[in-house]
Structure 1
Amino acid sequence: MITVQSALTGLLLGGLYALMAAGVSITWGVLRIINLAHFGLILLSAYLTVLLASAWGMDPILTVVITGPAMFVAGGALQWAYDRLGISELNSLLVSFGLLIMTVQVVSNIFSADFRRMSAEVNPYATASVATGRLVFPVTTLLAFLIAVAVIGAAHLVLRGTFPGRALRAFAEDRGIAGAFGIDHRTLGTLLGAVSGATAAVAGMLFALANALTPAVAFEWFGIVFAVVILGGIGHLLGTLAAGLLVGALTGVVSVLLSPAAAPLVLFGAIVVVLLLRPRGLFVRTASSATVDAVVRSAGRPAQRDGRS
């Protein structure tokens, strides 16, 4: 029963991992930007959640009404700067890591490096739980799972069912052909970066609900988030969700059967195996060469290619 409890709790917690990884995965897969500054936006959102809830008396969940638009603007501004400066994929790793370090330092200077946690009076969700038979689930993990499914599911539907979403998919498949069809990748890229920032606000709020905060925690997210991105497939949202749940369940089971210290070893061992057998991710199907034409045609664009038949 302990193993089942740990597996299910870890699976629900995996929703938070997936939500934290979604912004990194989609910008990497579509825009070819490895945006480590995304972790800084999550960290800043978490601290703002604590501040707004503790000082202003806001419900912690409702703080996204403020942090969401703020991170939307910040994420869009970051992507706009990356694009205008012509940051390459490799350079984005270095530049965004520098931005992350700056964000961590700013947070340390403003809030100090001490642990911060919302009190039980401010955050009643931290001590609440839902029981099903002999299984007990913290409300914070249930919220993380439900919100992650809702946000990632909605983003997937937008990518599949709207013209901007199909245009982004076409751009991700082949930038040259997408540009020839008149797709404005700069505007769409900025919008995608902004939406990614908004997801960081939600992830930061959910993390603050269940955990104590310290500025250095942003660096601790690297391993788990990149594991989710790689296992799910870079740029694939539903794969990211599935991988987050898988990583959460695996980590929970290994922590009980072996030890918490063994969980990273097993997790990264699984990543090595996946990279060898399925280098594009566990949940990615190989796309055909006609993908871009199909996507652009479905978006209602003319199927001409500058004089080519």
Structure 2
Amino acid sequence: MSTLQAALAGVLLGGLYALMAAGVSVTWGVLRIINLAHFGLILVSAYLTFQLASSWGWDPILTLVITVPAMFVLGGVLQWGYDRVGISELNSLLASFGLLIMCVQLVSNVWSADFRRMSAAVNPYATASVPLGRLIFPVTTLLASGIAVVLIAGAQFALRRTFTGRALRAFAEDRTIASAFGIDHRRLGVLLGALSGATAAVSGMLFALANALTPATAFEWFGTVFAVVILGGVGHLTGTLAAGLLVGVLSGVVSVLLSPAAAPFVLFSAIVLALLLRPQGLFARRAVR
């Protein structure tokens, strides 16, 4: 029963991993930008959620009315800056890592390096759970998984069924031909960067609901999120969701059967195998579907 509980809990937690990875995956796959600053936006959003809830008594979920527009603008500005300087894929990795360091330092200066966690008085979700027989599901992971599925499914629908989505897919496939047919890739890129920033705001809020915060938390996301991106296929949103669930299950089950310390080893072994056997990702045939 403990293994089943761990597997189901991993599925729910995997939704949060997928949502964190979606912004990185789609900007990498479509715009050829490896945007590590995305982790900084998630971190800042998590702290803003903490601040608004703790100081002003806001419901943590309602803080999205502040954080989503703010990260939408910041994400768009970042992409505008990347495009203006004509940054390459490799250089975007270096430049965005520098921006991430700046975000971490900003958080350290404003909130200090101490652990921060919303109290039960302002965050009732942290202690709430939904029992199902002998299984217990925390409300925080249920929320994270449900919101992730809705947002990723909506984004996938937009990519496949809307004119803007088709334009983005065309740009990802062949930039020269797409530009020749009048697709304004700069405007679309800024829009995609802004939407990626909005997902960072949601991810930060969901993370803050269930976890303590420190500035160094952003670095702890690297391994898991990039595992999701690689296993799902760069730019493949439904693959990202499936990979997030897989990574969550794998981490949860290994932690119970072996030990929590063994989970990263198993996870990165899976990445190595995936790169050797299916370098395009377990759930994708192309970078963008």
The within-5 A match list for 1:211-290 is 211-286=211-286
Whole-Å separation in 2 of the counterparts to 1:257 and 1:106: 39
For 1:101, the aligned partner's letter is I
Counterpart Cα distance in 2 of 1:201 and 1:29: 21
| Residue identity matched to 2:237 | L
Q: For residues 250 and 88 of structure 1, what CA distance do their matches in structure 2 show?
A: 34
Deviation at 1:176, TM superposition (A): 1.0
4+ residue segments displaced more than 3 Å: none
Separation in structure 2 between the aligned mates of residue 126 and residue 238 of structure 1, nearest angstrom: 28
Residue identity matched to 1:149: V
Shift of 1:15: 0.3
Q: Using structure 1 for the length normalisation, give the TM-score.
A: 0.92
User: What is aligned with 1:306?
Assistant: none
Provide the residue aligned with 1:302 in structure 2: none
1:35-85 deviation digits (Å, cap 9, x = unpaired): 000000000000000000011111001101110000000000000000001
Report the secondary structure of 2:58's partner residue: coil
Q: Which residue of 1 aligns with 2:157?
A: 157
How far is the alpha carbon of 1:286 from its aligned partner? 4.5
What CA distance in whole angstroms lies between the structure 2 residues aligned with 1:267 and 1:199?
24
Measure, in 2, the Cα distance between the counterparts of 1:165 and 1:138. 35
- Amino acid in structure 1 at the alignment position of 2:33: I
Aligned length, in residue pairs: 289
Structure 1 counterpart of 2:51, one-letter code: L
- 1:169 corresponds to which residue? 169
Task: Name the SS of the counterpart of 2:136 in structure 1.
Answer: strand
Amino acid corresponding to residue 118 of structure 2 in structure 1: M
Task: Give the TM-score normalised by structure 2.
Answer: 0.99
Identity %: 80
Q: Secondary structure at the match of 2:114?
A: coil
C-alpha RMSD over aligned residues: 1.1
Residues 175-194 of structure 1 mapped to structure 2, 5 A cutoff:
175-194=175-194
Whole-angstrom distance in 2 between the partners of 1:62 and 1:249: 29
Matching of residue 78 in structure 1 with residue 92 in structure 2: no
Measured after TM superposition, the shift of residue 177 of structure 1 is 1.0
Q: Deviation of residue 285 (structure 1)?
A: 2.0
Matched to 1:46, the amino acid is A
- Deviation track 1:59-116 (CA, whole Å, cap 9, x = no partner) reads 0011011100000000000000000010100000000000000110010000000000
Residues 143-201 of structure 1: CA deviation (Å, up to 9, x unaligned): 00000000101010000110010000000011111111111000000000000000000
1:172-231 CA-to-partner distances (Å, cap 9, x unmatched) read: 011111111111000000000000000000000000000000000000000000000000
Residue 23 of structure 2 is matched in structure 1 by 23
The unaligned stretches of length 5 or more in structure 2 are: none
Letter in 1 for 2:238: L
Q: Which amino acid aligns with 1:62?
A: L
What secondary structure sits across from 2:190 in the alignment? helix
CA shift for structure 1 position 278: 0.5
Q: Partner of 1:140: helix, strand, or coil?
A: helix
- Aligned equivalents of 2:110, 2:52: Cα separation in 1: 14
| Unaligned ranges ≥5, structure 1 | 296-309
Q: Which residue matches 1:138?
A: 138
SS at match of 2:9: helix
1:12 maps to 12
CA distance in 1, matches of 2:54, 2:177: 51
Q: Is the radius of gyration larger for structure 1 or structure 2? A: 1
